[in-house]
Structure 1
Amino acid sequence: MIDRRTALAGIVTMFGAGLFAPIARAAGAAQAAKIPVISEGPPSVAVFTPTQRAVMTALSDRMIPATDTPGAIEAQVPEFIEKLLADWAAPEDRVSIVAGLDAIEARSLADYKRSAAKATPAQQDALLTLAMDDKIASGAVFFDEFRQLVITGYYTSEIGITQEREYLPVPGEYDGAFPYSQVNKVYSS
């Protein structure tokens, strides 16, 4: 069975040169097999306030919602993000994420008169779009880094590896005439 360490070591190819520094640090250490699995244990320090944690959780759920497969919440992506930022991020690496969450919260309170965590899914999507389009303070930087954290957390989780993708440690035999219409999921190994 593939573990988070192995998956994290392979995540570098997904984002290339634009990889968020804490993910790159953890992936580099994972490749050298010098670290425990990232998801083990609580974060060494609290990174988020309760409000920031609630907003981060809600936005993670909007990026990878539950569909016919579990979403970011079920894959414990918010816990992964806080653990990674607490234990693998330098204090300056956290600034854009924390500032982005605060900016989204402020915009939500101004536009919708409610916390971003309690906003409707459509309102949360609008807030994420504003960040993506850099229409809130440092929004584009926040969005890119936050998206990387969510995707990395999801696709290195057991749910992402085994339920979203199809895990085959050794794929079956080669069939050059296999009908594409019968391909179910992308394989991870």
Structure 2
Amino acid sequence: MKRREAIKNLMLFTGGTILFSAGLLAGCNSPAGRTFISKQDIYFLDEIGETIIPTTARCGGAKAAKIGLYMKMMVNKCITNEERLIFLEGLKKIEDAAIEKYRVEFLSMNSDQKKELFLNIQLEAEKYKKDNKSKPSAPVHYFQLLKDLIVKGYFTSEIGATEARRYEAIPTRYIGCINYKKGDRVWATS
């Protein structure tokens, strides 16, 4: 066997072993065996984002900013395992709450029903935060985590930075004090 073939076989064997064991361990982390956002979840996340940041006459909403793809990347690669499990359980809670209250899946609800559902969940999240204020180690509420990802993803997207905010790609000078007129958009920051 030549050296290159030996190295290739070794890499395939060790890589396969690592991937196989990671798959087995990942199945143990979540009660439902689900530990990552899938491609099928992107449309669901886009709809959640569009409810929180809808499209207006002036600018596109969260769906136009492809918030589902952003959240998939952030949840799968950037947040802790504990936060990921909270997030995934939160998605299930949203779906369960929609079925319980309106007898339909979240994606089948109209925009007014989605807003009402999220207002109720927001009240629940605020109560949770108030009740756990004295516990610094208390985990974040799933809805707060969801909203934080949506807002950060939207305002760092091209649509959020250029349409919802004022954006100057190459700042030419520093102006320390700018007069604000009612209705002006805030400046995008990096």
The two structures have a TM-score, normalised by structure 2, of 0.64
Query: CA separation in 1, counterparts of 2:147 and 2:118?
Result: 10
Give unpaired runs (5+ residues) of structure 2: 1-34, 130-139
Which of the pair has more CA radius of gyration? Answer: 2
Q: Which amino acid aligns with 1:146?
A: L
1:60 is aligned, of 38, 42, 49, to 49
Q: CA RMSD in A?
A: 2.9
Kept after mapping to 1: 8 A contact 2:166/2:188: yes
Runs of 4+ in 1 over 6 A off after TM superposition: none
Identical aligned pairs, as a percentage?
21
What secondary structure, in the 3-state scheme, does the structure 2 residue paired with 1:188 have? coil
Kept after mapping to 2: 8 A contact 1:70/1:159: yes
Give the equivalent residue in structure 2 for 1:99: 89
Query: CA separation in 2, counterparts of 1:108 and 1:71?
Result: 22
**RCO (CA 8 Å, sep 6+): is it higher in 1 or 2?**
1
What secondary structure, in the 3-state scheme, does the structure 1 residue paired with 2:124 have? coil
Kept after mapping to 2: 8 A contact 1:166/1:188: yes
- The 1:182/1:78 distance shift into structure 2, 3 A limit, reads same
Kept after mapping to 2: 8 A contact 1:62/1:124: yes
- The 1:84/1:77 distance shift into structure 2, 3 A limit, reads same
Give the equivalent residue in structure 2 for 1:187: 187
Kept after mapping to 2: 8 A contact 1:165/1:186: yes
Say how many residue pairs are matched. Answer: 141
1:126 aligns with 2:122: no
Deviates most, 75-84 or 124-133: 124-133
- The 1:95/1:49 distance shift into structure 2, 3 A limit, reads farther
Query: CA separation in 2, counterparts of 1:102 and 1:182?
Result: 40
Give unpaired runs (5+ residues) of structure 1: 1-44
Query: CA separation in 1, counterparts of 2:122 and 2:38?
Result: 21
Q: Which amino acid aligns with 1:151?
A: V
The two structures have a TM-score, normalised by structure 1, of 0.64
Query: CA separation in 1, counterparts of 2:49 and 2:182?
Result: 31
1:47 aligns with 2:37: yes
Shift of 1:181: 3.2
Give the equivalent residue in structure 1 for 2:61: 71
- The 1:170/1:86 distance shift into structure 2, 3 A limit, reads same
Q: Which amino acid aligns with 2:115?
A: D
